[in-house]
Amino acid sequence: DVYVDGHHLNTYAPAQLRAVKKDIGMIFQQFNLLDSKTVFKNVAMPLILRKVPMNEIKSRVEEMLHFVG
């Protein structure tokens, strides 16, 4: 069984799963950053691919980078 945020995903229809998967990210234990991109662009990449507005990307990336220094 798979639970995310208290929800039993095994009972979800495919369309519901797609919606949930859009909000799930992965953090690697090793640094798998793209050498050709800045740290900002590496962090922003999933948001860019989801076509999030640039002002929101900037805000969210800055917030996340604040946590790691």
pTM score, two decimals? 0.59
* Counted domains in the chain: 1
DSSP 32: -
Structural domain boundaries enclosing 44: 3-68
Residues 34-61 pLDDT 10s: 889 999 999 999 899 989 999 999 999 9
Taking Cα atoms as reference points, which of 46, 50, 21 lies closest to residue 34? 46
Tell which residue, 29, 24, 31, has the closest CA to residue 9: 24
**Across the chain, what does the average pLDDT equal?**
89
